[in-house]
Protein backbone atom coordinates (compact mmCIF):
# COMPACT_ATOMS: atom_id res chain seq x y z
CA UNK A 1 0.00 0.00 0.00
CA UNK A 2 1.51 3.35 -1.05
CA UNK A 3 2.00 6.00 1.65
CA UNK A 4 -0.53 8.79 1.97
CA UNK A 5 0.63 12.13 0.54
CA UNK A 6 1.64 14.70 3.14
CA UNK A 7 -0.96 17.46 3.26
CA UNK A 8 0.22 20.72 1.76
CA UNK A 9 -0.96 23.82 3.58
CA UNK A 10 -1.86 26.58 1.09
CA UNK A 11 0.11 29.84 1.49
CA UNK A 12 -1.58 32.49 3.54
CA UNK A 13 -1.80 36.22 3.04
CA UNK A 14 1.17 37.40 5.20
CA UNK A 15 -0.88 40.29 6.57
CA UNK A 16 -3.45 37.82 7.96
CA UNK A 17 -1.16 34.97 9.01
CA UNK A 18 -1.28 34.26 12.75
CA UNK A 19 1.76 35.12 14.82
CA UNK A 20 2.67 31.80 16.39
CA UNK A 21 4.27 33.55 19.35
CA UNK A 22 1.11 35.51 20.12
CA UNK A 23 -0.62 34.63 23.37
CA UNK A 24 -3.91 34.73 21.47
CA UNK A 25 -2.92 31.91 19.10
CA UNK A 26 -3.81 28.37 20.17
CA UNK A 27 -1.54 25.71 18.68
CA UNK A 28 -3.76 23.01 20.19
CA UNK A 29 -6.80 24.33 18.34
CA UNK A 30 -4.70 24.55 15.18
CA UNK A 31 -3.75 20.87 15.50
CA UNK A 32 -7.30 19.78 16.28
CA UNK A 33 -8.65 21.55 13.21
CA UNK A 34 -5.85 20.05 11.13
CA UNK A 35 -7.05 16.59 12.20
CA UNK A 36 -10.57 17.39 10.93
CA UNK A 37 -9.09 18.72 7.70
CA UNK A 38 -7.54 15.35 6.92
CA UNK A 39 -10.93 13.78 6.20
CA UNK A 40 -12.45 14.11 2.75
CA UNK A 41 -14.61 12.26 0.24
CA UNK A 42 -11.44 10.54 -0.94
CA UNK A 43 -10.30 9.82 2.64
CA UNK A 44 -13.52 9.24 4.63
CA UNK A 45 -11.98 6.83 7.17
CA UNK A 46 -8.54 7.28 8.75
CA UNK A 47 -6.56 5.63 11.50
CA UNK A 48 -4.04 7.15 13.87
CA UNK A 49 -1.15 6.06 11.64
CA UNK A 50 -2.84 7.78 8.67
CA UNK A 51 -3.37 11.04 10.59
CA UNK A 52 0.20 10.96 11.85
CA UNK A 53 1.54 10.45 8.34
CA UNK A 54 -0.65 13.11 6.73
CA UNK A 55 0.24 15.80 9.25
CA UNK A 56 3.77 14.81 10.22
CA UNK A 57 2.50 14.56 13.79
CA UNK A 58 3.52 12.04 16.44
CA UNK A 59 1.10 9.16 16.90
CA UNK A 60 0.55 9.90 20.59
CA UNK A 61 -0.39 13.50 19.75
CA UNK A 62 -2.67 12.40 16.91
CA UNK A 63 -4.37 9.92 19.24
CA UNK A 64 -4.89 12.56 21.94
CA UNK A 65 -6.45 15.06 19.54
CA UNK A 66 -8.62 12.40 17.89
CA UNK A 67 -9.88 11.14 21.25
CA UNK A 68 -10.81 14.70 22.25
CA UNK A 69 -12.67 15.23 18.98
CA UNK A 70 -14.60 11.99 19.55
CA UNK A 71 -15.63 13.19 23.00
CA UNK A 72 -16.77 16.51 21.54
CA UNK A 73 -18.82 14.84 18.79
CA UNK A 74 -16.71 15.89 15.80
CA UNK A 75 -15.30 12.41 15.11
CA UNK A 76 -16.64 8.91 15.63
CA UNK A 77 -14.70 5.69 15.97
CA UNK A 78 -15.83 2.47 14.33
CA UNK A 79 -15.23 -1.16 15.18
CA UNK A 80 -11.98 -1.05 13.17
CA UNK A 81 -10.68 1.60 15.60
CA UNK A 82 -10.49 4.06 12.73
CA UNK A 83 -12.18 7.45 12.65
CA UNK A 84 -14.67 9.29 10.46
CA UNK A 85 -16.34 12.70 10.68
CA UNK A 86 -19.36 12.80 13.01
CA UNK A 87 -22.61 14.71 13.25
CA UNK A 88 -21.37 17.96 14.73
CA UNK A 89 -19.21 18.59 11.68
CA UNK A 90 -22.30 18.20 9.48
CA UNK A 91 -24.19 20.59 11.74
CA UNK A 92 -21.50 23.23 11.29
CA UNK A 93 -21.41 22.67 7.53
CA UNK A 94 -25.16 23.03 7.20
CA UNK A 95 -25.05 26.21 9.27
CA UNK A 96 -22.49 27.65 6.86
CA UNK A 97 -24.62 26.68 3.87
CA UNK A 98 -27.71 28.26 5.42
CA UNK A 99 -25.94 31.53 6.21
CA UNK A 100 -24.49 32.03 2.70
CA UNK A 101 -27.98 32.69 1.28
CA UNK A 102 -27.28 30.33 -1.63
CA UNK A 103 -29.83 27.70 -0.59
CA UNK A 104 -32.56 30.29 -0.07
CA UNK A 105 -31.85 31.86 -3.46
CA UNK A 106 -31.74 28.51 -5.27
CA UNK A 107 -34.51 26.46 -3.63
CA UNK A 108 -37.59 27.80 -5.52
CA UNK A 109 -35.77 27.46 -8.85
CA UNK A 110 -34.57 23.94 -8.04
CA UNK A 111 -38.13 22.96 -7.12
CA UNK A 112 -39.35 24.33 -10.45
CA UNK A 113 -36.63 22.43 -12.34
CA UNK A 114 -37.50 19.15 -10.61
CA UNK A 115 -41.21 19.69 -11.24
CA UNK A 116 -40.63 20.34 -14.96
CA UNK A 117 -38.24 17.41 -15.53
CA UNK A 118 -39.08 14.86 -12.82
CA UNK A 119 -35.38 14.19 -12.23
CA UNK A 120 -33.00 14.78 -9.31
CA UNK A 121 -31.58 18.30 -9.11
CA UNK A 122 -29.13 20.09 -6.85
CA UNK A 123 -26.70 22.93 -6.35
CA UNK A 124 -23.18 22.66 -5.03
CA UNK A 125 -19.98 24.50 -4.19
CA UNK A 126 -16.30 23.68 -4.61
CA UNK A 127 -14.26 23.18 -1.44
CA UNK A 128 -10.72 22.19 -2.34
CA UNK A 129 -10.79 18.77 -4.00
CA UNK A 130 -14.48 18.22 -3.22
CA UNK A 131 -17.88 19.28 -4.50
CA UNK A 132 -20.25 20.04 -1.61
CA UNK A 133 -24.01 19.89 -2.12
CA UNK A 134 -25.68 23.02 -0.75
CA UNK A 135 -29.11 21.62 -1.65
CA UNK A 136 -30.41 18.42 -3.24
CA UNK A 137 -33.91 17.47 -4.34
CA UNK A 138 -34.39 13.80 -5.21
CA UNK A 139 -36.42 12.56 -8.15
CA UNK A 140 -39.85 11.05 -7.57
CA UNK A 141 -39.60 8.95 -10.72
CA UNK A 142 -39.61 5.17 -10.40
CA UNK A 143 -36.10 3.72 -10.74
CA UNK A 144 -34.34 7.04 -10.17
CA UNK A 145 -33.07 6.34 -6.63
CA UNK A 146 -29.32 5.76 -6.93
CA UNK A 147 -28.04 2.69 -5.07
CA UNK A 148 -24.55 4.18 -4.68
CA UNK A 149 -23.45 6.95 -2.31
CA UNK A 150 -26.24 8.65 -0.37
CA UNK A 151 -26.49 12.21 -1.66
CA UNK A 152 -28.12 15.00 0.30
CA UNK A 153 -27.40 18.60 1.29
CA UNK A 154 -24.01 18.80 2.95
CA UNK A 155 -22.58 15.68 1.29
CA UNK A 156 -19.07 15.94 -0.14
CA UNK A 157 -18.04 14.13 -3.33
CA UNK A 158 -14.78 14.08 -5.29
CA UNK A 159 -14.80 17.07 -7.62
CA UNK A 160 -12.97 15.35 -10.49
CA UNK A 161 -15.80 12.87 -11.23
CA UNK A 162 -18.95 14.95 -10.65
CA UNK A 163 -20.59 17.40 -13.02
CA UNK A 164 -20.75 20.08 -10.31
CA UNK A 165 -17.08 19.59 -9.51
CA UNK A 166 -16.02 19.66 -13.16
CA UNK A 167 -18.05 22.80 -13.86
CA UNK A 168 -16.45 24.59 -10.92
CA UNK A 169 -12.91 23.34 -11.55
CA UNK A 170 -13.21 24.61 -15.13
CA UNK A 171 -14.05 28.09 -13.83
CA UNK A 172 -10.87 28.40 -11.75
CA UNK A 173 -7.64 30.17 -12.72
CA UNK A 174 -5.08 27.65 -13.98
CA UNK A 175 -2.74 28.00 -10.99
CA UNK A 176 -5.54 27.40 -8.49
CA UNK A 177 -6.78 24.40 -10.47
CA UNK A 178 -3.29 22.89 -10.60
CA UNK A 179 -2.94 23.29 -6.83
CA UNK A 180 -6.16 21.28 -6.41
CA UNK A 181 -4.85 18.60 -8.78
CA UNK A 182 -1.74 18.34 -6.61
CA UNK A 183 -3.89 17.73 -3.52
CA UNK A 184 -6.32 15.26 -5.12
CA UNK A 185 -5.74 11.54 -5.49
CA UNK A 186 -8.34 11.52 -8.31
CA UNK A 187 -9.58 8.11 -7.20
CA UNK A 188 -11.17 5.90 -9.86
CA UNK A 189 -14.80 5.53 -8.75
CA UNK A 190 -15.93 3.54 -11.82
CA UNK A 191 -14.29 2.31 -15.04
CA UNK A 192 -15.47 5.59 -16.62
CA UNK A 193 -13.80 7.95 -14.13
CA UNK A 194 -11.27 10.29 -15.71
CA UNK A 195 -8.17 10.28 -13.51
CA UNK A 196 -5.29 11.28 -15.80
CA UNK A 197 -4.36 14.96 -15.48
CA UNK A 198 -3.83 15.45 -19.22
CA UNK A 199 -7.28 14.15 -20.14
CA UNK A 200 -8.95 15.98 -17.25
CA UNK A 201 -7.29 19.26 -18.28
CA UNK A 202 -8.61 18.79 -21.83
CA UNK A 203 -12.11 18.13 -20.51
CA UNK A 204 -12.04 21.19 -18.27
CA UNK A 205 -10.88 23.38 -21.14
CA UNK A 206 -13.83 22.17 -23.24
CA UNK A 207 -16.20 22.73 -20.30
CA UNK A 208 -14.99 26.31 -19.87
CA UNK A 209 -15.57 26.97 -23.57
CA UNK A 210 -19.10 25.52 -23.81
CA UNK A 211 -20.36 26.60 -20.37
CA UNK A 212 -21.53 23.31 -18.84
CA UNK A 213 -20.15 19.98 -17.60
CA UNK A 214 -21.29 16.37 -17.93
CA UNK A 215 -20.35 13.39 -15.78
CA UNK A 216 -21.05 10.17 -17.69
CA UNK A 217 -21.10 7.32 -15.13
CA UNK A 218 -17.90 8.63 -13.52
CA UNK A 219 -19.23 8.69 -9.96
CA UNK A 220 -21.51 5.64 -10.06
CA UNK A 221 -22.41 3.13 -12.81
CA UNK A 222 -25.56 4.17 -14.65
CA UNK A 223 -25.59 7.74 -13.27
CA UNK A 224 -25.24 10.72 -15.60
CA UNK A 225 -25.45 14.38 -14.70
CA UNK A 226 -25.18 17.82 -16.26
CA UNK A 227 -24.14 20.99 -14.42
CA UNK A 228 -24.10 24.70 -15.27
CA UNK A 229 -22.14 27.31 -13.26
CA UNK A 230 -23.88 29.89 -11.07
CA UNK A 231 -22.41 33.37 -10.72
CA UNK A 232 -22.80 36.24 -8.32
CA UNK A 233 -21.93 39.83 -9.26
CA UNK A 234 -18.23 39.05 -9.70
CA UNK A 235 -17.45 35.34 -10.10
CA UNK A 236 -18.61 31.72 -10.34
CA UNK A 237 -19.75 30.60 -6.88
CA UNK A 238 -21.67 27.34 -7.43
CA UNK A 239 -23.23 25.05 -10.04
CA UNK A 240 -26.74 23.69 -10.61
CA UNK A 241 -27.02 20.09 -11.77
CA UNK A 242 -29.58 17.54 -12.96
CA UNK A 243 -28.98 13.79 -12.58
CA UNK A 244 -30.47 10.75 -14.28
CA UNK A 245 -29.95 7.14 -13.25
CA UNK A 246 -29.89 3.67 -14.82
CA UNK A 247 -28.74 5.09 -18.16
CA UNK A 248 -32.32 6.09 -18.93
CA UNK A 249 -31.10 9.12 -20.86
CA UNK A 250 -28.05 8.92 -23.11
CA UNK A 251 -25.52 11.78 -23.02
CA UNK A 252 -26.68 13.43 -26.23
CA UNK A 253 -30.33 13.38 -25.11
CA UNK A 254 -29.35 14.60 -21.65
CA UNK A 255 -27.83 17.70 -23.20
CA UNK A 256 -30.48 18.24 -25.85
CA UNK A 257 -33.42 17.90 -23.45
CA UNK A 258 -32.08 19.37 -20.23
CA UNK A 259 -29.22 21.80 -20.92
CA UNK A 260 -31.63 24.65 -21.77
CA UNK A 261 -33.62 24.01 -18.56
CA UNK A 262 -30.60 23.61 -16.28
CA UNK A 263 -28.96 26.63 -17.89
CA UNK A 264 -32.09 28.72 -17.34
CA UNK A 265 -32.22 27.61 -13.69
CA UNK A 266 -28.56 28.52 -13.17
CA UNK A 267 -29.22 31.94 -14.68
CA UNK A 268 -32.22 32.54 -12.41
CA UNK A 269 -30.14 31.68 -9.34
CA UNK A 270 -27.32 33.86 -10.63
CA UNK A 271 -29.67 36.82 -11.09
CA UNK A 272 -30.92 36.33 -7.52
CA UNK A 273 -27.28 36.55 -6.37
CA UNK A 274 -26.64 39.80 -8.23
CA UNK A 275 -25.29 38.60 -11.57
CA UNK A 276 -25.85 40.79 -14.65
CA UNK A 277 -25.65 38.60 -17.82
CA UNK A 278 -24.13 39.77 -21.11
CA UNK A 279 -26.21 39.62 -24.28
CA UNK A 280 -25.07 36.26 -25.70
CA UNK A 281 -26.74 33.19 -27.18
CA UNK A 282 -26.26 29.46 -26.55
CA UNK A 283 -24.29 27.33 -29.05
CA UNK A 284 -26.60 25.57 -31.53
CA UNK A 285 -24.53 22.37 -31.93
CA UNK A 286 -23.71 21.81 -28.26
CA UNK A 287 -24.95 18.21 -27.99
CA UNK A 288 -23.09 17.07 -31.12
CA UNK A 289 -19.75 18.58 -30.03
CA UNK A 290 -19.88 17.07 -26.53
CA UNK A 291 -19.42 13.48 -27.71
CA UNK A 292 -15.96 14.44 -28.99
CA UNK A 293 -15.12 16.31 -25.78
CA UNK A 294 -15.95 13.30 -23.59
CA UNK A 295 -13.60 11.08 -25.58
CA UNK A 296 -10.61 13.42 -25.17
Domain boundary at 64, 85, 106, which? 85
Q: Is the same domain home to 65 and 133?
A: no
In the prediction, which pLDDT does 10 show?
A: 40
Q: Is the same domain home to 248 and 205?
A: yes
45 alpha carbon, distance to own chain's centre:
18
In the prediction, which pLDDT does 182 show?
A: 87
Q: Is the same domain home to 51 and 133?
A: no
Alpha helices, H only, 38-131: 48-55, 59-72, 87-100, 102-117
In the prediction, which pLDDT does 195 show?
A: 92
Q: Is the same domain home to 169 and 48?
A: no
Rg (Cα) of the chain, in Å, rounded? Answer: 20
Q: Is the same domain home to 156 and 231?
A: yes
Q: Is the same domain home to 172 and 218?
A: yes
| Strands (E) located in 97-212 | 120-127, 130-137, 156-158
pTM of the predicted model over 0.75 = no
Alpha carbons 292 and 296: distance in angstroms, whole number? 7
Domain boundaries, position 213: 92-294
Q: Is the same domain home to 143 and 62?
A: no
Q: Is the same domain home to 76 and 204?
A: no
Q: Is the same domain home to 229 and 259?
A: yes
In the prediction, which pLDDT does 15 show?
A: 41
Is 42 a domain residue? Answer: yes
Alpha carbons 164 and 244: distance in angstroms, whole number? 14
Q: Provide block-wise average pLDDT over 10 residues at a time, the chain (296 residues).
A: 48 43 76 87 85 91 93 87 83 64 92 95 92 90 61 84 96 93 88 93 95 94 94 94 83 93 96 82 52 53
Q: Is the same domain home to 60 and 175?
A: no
Q: Is the same domain home to 46 and 143?
A: no
Q: Is the same domain home to 228 and 165?
A: yes
Is 179 a domain residue? Answer: yes
Amino acid sequence: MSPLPRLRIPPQDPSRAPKLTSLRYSSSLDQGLAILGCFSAERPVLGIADLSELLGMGRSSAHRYATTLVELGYLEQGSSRKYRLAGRVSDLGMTVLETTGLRAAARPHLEELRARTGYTVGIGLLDGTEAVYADHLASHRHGQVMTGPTIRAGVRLPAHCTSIGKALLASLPEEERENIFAESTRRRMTPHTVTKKKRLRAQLKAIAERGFAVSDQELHPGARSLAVPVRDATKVVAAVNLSVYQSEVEVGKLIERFYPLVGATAEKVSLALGYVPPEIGLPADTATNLEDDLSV
